[in-house]
Structure 1
């Protein structure tokens, strides 16, 4: 765990410890009530099963293992009585367990550092202005062009020609990705002695041979990707795109759990892995929360007061908008028959409490990633992965509505690749596609997660910049333009460069979707009229109109 997570975990343990006496008291009271209840009155039995279930899940998750096991034992012992509609009056085994709860609660919980099984490494580390890439090679001259390409796109690259120097660097700082360029396997074998796949650092292997044995060797070393040399730089960048999407995407997880403390723990764990979370302890407002939060996955307890997870999942599936939304149950239920019944209503997975942090984050991220990929097939441009034209307008309408509510600026940008037809005519459409993907890649890398990039059509792109006035947008887009102009593209042995033009319009000067798009498009047209490879805002557009009126007067 990270220091901040450890601190939060310790606070959760303290809060649980402070309140555990009331939990035990409630279980004891329910047990007394069951022993005094008339035959056929099952309400106290149902309540006690739910309280034991909550104790088992929360206590075990927070490191109170022995207490959690006692809670689970009570739940398992009581369920057959409920199924048979009988009361376990004066059952000696249950009586003994309930009586032992107070003493078991005094056992020291496990330390936070003993409760985790690994850390999730994000491709984009917070606080780092550039992605860090390590390149190790038999011959660094072979990697010179690739390193220059990465640096043009603003990656920070450190190169190593031996395993010992790489080992020292890894002990000081972890990169976002590691590339190993080899002709023989000696260097990769040396690196494999100290680097492990579990480190979370993706490994890309470039090799002179593409035979089965070479690929197998790389796979056994834990390689994320393998390429035969010479390799197109665009293929390497495509791997980076994939890593960016899977690791830096901020998946949104809705946690539906009536036990607030355990929900907060899951929230801390998932947030530590770069996800955004929301907690809901009342399923009655579930549909409203789905509409507001737009989760990529719902993580839901199976047993809750008033409503079960199965019932909640059934309601979710009644709505076409949520047909493909992943639902993952997280429960202490270990009966396989019960798990299968729960999954039949449309849930996607069943995770059993307690679950370690790494398993939880991996299970959630895998499902959320799949959901994003399915959504992308419908919402995104197939070549670039950016939003398509129609979904751009939906996003722009949403941002303008938010800006009106909060009285904040929004800049809308239209971007066009200069002389793109000439690029296609000279180098062919496959190379033209590389240039289009180059713009998309840079848009994804250079701008915030809260910004929205789209392929407007052909060689045109659009960008929504929330909370960004025109002057700041101008600086950001001009920096983007300059960086793109320095980015080399290859056509076999030949290298060429491309430029782009952009136009900016800003809310509140333009209030509607139609007016802000039209103003940005007019600004882009003016940028092209002025010679291309430049950025124009709606302010210049107004000045240009004033100048035209003066000249015609």
Structure 2
């Protein structure tokens, strides 16, 4: 059996943990091979299809474990046996021809287990095989907190020679809580950078006739020092976009910039709306393999739920919402293809990646996996570093797609369908865990007058501001969505009415302090809200109805206030 990699001072806890798995595997291998040979003798003697299947499944199981732990030669021999015995199951080949081949391969397995060569790929080599950093390895508490920082902690510099435009953007973005500094030239920014750093710089691109070399050179320098850069340009051209790509800027926006789109892009850039830590549901009938991958992934700050039986999935999904499904391809009773199709039957998982982890490298199996609705197939002998990179890429992309599909296009909060689904789920969890939820129905005061006086531009500013203010004022476990028109629905999990009433009054005070400007006219807005608790209602429709009734009481009592359901 391959020697275990020597422990060094530089080994990480993850490497040491994987080495422990390898040691346990080594200790158990001889006994497992004896059992494997016994199963083969039974199948050979009885010539019953069920016995051939039992033998092949044990071969596949052992192949998966050896591949995951990077015992390459062992995995290859087991793969050859699996391929040969598959023909025995259907009696396509004469056993007299097949038996000597399988006997020879089993002898090679026994001989390999008694040898002590160095492993073909050590754990440390697997993790450090690439010089590129793995973004998942950086997901510690500090990174999680950084990615979830509020707007107020994101400092932005705007460079625009047009002071009117620069001041306008500064005022609008400040409304959303960003910390903004306006510079009228690149030279001013460079001087400012001597004493101040920014997380994002918005660089205005001059006319095509102007030499923008200095702007792109600055952009390149900023990106190299971990400052994100957006290019703002009044002219759209292939050359300008190409130069921005080569300068490695984060985005290219055309002026006049839509403030809603800009805020959305900033949120996306800083992953404000992405959920961390990542959640992965892993289904593998081999408990040891599940524990191995759980250890690997949790060492990178990922929340992992391991299941060994497919029939546990539906119940688990009621409380665990994965960002990705990792499925074993071959399991007894039910295969991974069937599980993938079962998952894809449910619309809410349309954008959640399904990935197979398998020791089967057959191209037809990979095609079958993709046809079943899977997004990718990862061999179990893939190095841990590459597995992490693939999962990180898939999860980030899927979260971005899910975010876009679930959001109201104007305000950025959940759309009607998604907020109702979130409320329904919260109601089920409240009933199961006996922890009440509070729903709040919010309606802008005199919104028709705002639209009539300041146009839809003014109305949109108000809607976006309220939506984003609520979004950054609630917990990760709470939800806010646009219920319809100028109405918003907020769902607070595990909450009491008195606490939420105080919170909503604070949000109302903050909202009334926002000064909106349209065509040099300034105005402010307010809202009314109704609040109800699930402690008094069994059905979601009744709960929302009670909050709606309380809202109209608030309107009738003079608006600009929060009204609590009296039931």
Q: TM-score range by the shorter chain?
A: 0.7 to 0.9
2:501/2:531 contact within 8 Å kept: yes
Higher mean alpha-carbon deviation, 78-87 vs 268-277, is at 268-277
Correspondence for 1:550: none
TM-fit CA distance, 1:134: 4.1
Q: TM-score, normalised by structure 1?
A: 0.78
Deviation at 1:425, TM superposition (A): 0.6
Contact 1:416 1:461 in 2 (8 A): yes
Which of 145, 152, 155 is matched with 2:178 structurally?
155
1:55 corresponds to which of 66, 90, 100: 66
Conserved? CA contact 2:443–2:486, under 8 Å: yes
Counterpart Cα distance in 1 of 2:368 and 2:323? 23
Q: How does 1:133-532 map to 2 (within 5 A)?
A: 133-138=154-159, 143-157=166-180, 161-162=188-189, 175=199, 178-183=201-206, 184-193=212-221, 195=223, 203-243=229-269, 248-249=274-275, 252-260=279-287, 262-263=289-290, 266-267=293-294, 277-295=304-322, 297-316=324-343, 326-353=353-380, 354=382, 355-367=386-398, 369-370=400-401, 373=404, 376=406, 381=408, 383-384=410-411, 386-389=413-416, 392-492=419-519, 494-509=521-536, 512-532=539-559
Q: Kindly tell me the number of residue pairs found equivalent between the two proteins.
A: 517
Q: Which residue of 1 aligns with 2:123?
A: 109
State the Cα distance separating 1:369 from its structure 2 match: 4.3
* Matched residue SS, 2:103: coil
Which has the larger displacement, 511-520 or 451-460? 511-520
Q: Over aligned residues, Cα RMSD in angstroms?
A: 4.1
Cα separation, 2, equivalents of 1:533 and 1:232: 29
TM superposition shift of 1:218: 1.6
The aligned residue for residue 4 of structure 2 is none
> How many angstroms apart in 1 are the aligned matches of 2:292 and 2:224?
28
2:28 paired with 1:28: no
Contact persistence 1:252–1:275 (CA under 8 A)? yes
In structure 2, how many angstroms separate the alpha carbons of the residues matched to 1:138 and 1:323? 41
Distance in 2 separating the partners of 1:143 and 1:101:
72
By how many angstroms is 1:54 displaced?
1.8
Query: What does the per-residue CA deviation read over 1:219-277, in whole Å, with 9 as the maximum and x for residues that have no partner?
Result: 22233322234434333113235447785235653221234455456556767888654
CA distance in 2, matches of 1:373, 1:299: 23
Contact 1:524–1:536, Cα closer than 8 Å, also in 2: yes
Which residue pairs with 1:125 in the alignment? 146
SS at 1:25 equivalent: helix
| TM-score normalised per structure 2 | 0.76
Counterpart CA distance in 1 for 2:435 and 2:345 is 37
Residue from 91, 94, 102 that aligns with 2:108: 94
Residues 22, 94 of structure 1: CA spacing in aligned structure 2 closer, same or farther, 3 A cutoff? same
Please say if residues 14 and 299 of structure 2, whose CA atoms lie closer than 8 Å, have aligned partners that are also in contact: no
How big is each residue's C-alpha offset from its partner over 1:342-375, in whole Å with a ceiling of 9 and x where there is no partner?
322332322334133122211233245445655x
| Structure 1 residues 113 and 532, CA gap change in structure 2 (3 angstroms) | farther
